[in-house]
Structure 1
Amino acid sequence: MEFKDSQAIYLQIADYICEQVLLNKWPAEERIPSVRELAVTLEVNPNTVMRTCELLQQQEIIYNKRGIGYFISSDAIKKIRQYKKQAFIAQELPSFFRSLYLLDIDLEELKPHFEKFKKSNFK
């Protein structure tokens, strides 16, 4: 995984885990890879992964079964979408809307592009 300088690594790992859940690669109530496994896979310090797990546990996206590992919460998808939507609206949408306004792009113009994107990326 290539990390960006613009965001803390533990937050980028949280985004990665959330994406795996949203793509149903890691289903609800399933065990996720261990902290050590994730650290090796992502080439980061296990303490960084642990910080990610603590964050996701606070948001009730994952939970810990002592001695077994971390598991995806039954309502993780709902919680992730809620959290990600709020972040998207607050952080990314203002810049997006500014570009639409400056380039005089109507939202209706974007619909075919969005449909094409969905078909080519999420079959």
Structure 2
Amino acid sequence: MDFKSKDAIYLQIADYVNEHILLARWAINEKIPSVRELAAHLQVNPNTVMRTYEHLQQSGIIYNKRGIGFFVAEQARRHIKKQQRERFLERDLPEFFRNIYLLGINMDEITEKYQLYLNDNYADHENK
């Protein structure tokens, strides 16, 4: 995983977990990787993953079965979409609009590039 400097690492890991849930790689009520497994996979400190899991648990995205592990919550996708939509509309979209204005990019070009991106990256996944 390539970490960006814009957000804290635990939040970037939360985005990674959220993406896996939204793409149905991790199903509702399915056990997700343990703290140690995910830390080893992402090559980060287990304490960072634990902070991520605590954050996601407080957000209603995952839940803990004591002694067993963490699982995807029933309403996880709804919570993720709501949170990420708000963040995107408030933080990312204004920056995107500024850039397309400054660079003189028109909406037809954006639409074409967006369709190519979907075809290249999500052709086998139904947008949920």
TM range (shorter): over 0.9
Cα distance in structure 2, aligned partners of 1:99 and 1:44: 33
Tell me, yes or no, if structure 1 residue 96 matches structure 2 residue 96: yes
Matched, 1:118 2:118: yes
The aligned residue for residue 78 of structure 1 is 78
RMSD after superposition: 1.3
Shift of 1:2: 2.3
Matches within 5 A, 1:3-82: 3-82=3-82
Query: Does the C-alpha gap of structure 1 residues 84 and 110 become closer, same or farther in structure 2, counting only changes over 3 Å?
Result: same
Shift of 1:113: 1.8
* TM-score normalised to structure 1 length: 0.92
Off by >6 Å, runs of 4+ in structure 1: none
How far residue 28 of structure 1 moved from its aligned partner, in angstroms, is: 0.8
* Superposed CA offset, 1:79-120 (max 9, x none): 111111111111111111112222333334422221121111
Scaled by the length of structure 2, the TM-score of the pair is 0.89
1:41-72 deviation digits (Å, cap 9, x = unpaired): 11111111110001000110000111110000
Change (3 A) 1:121 1:87: same
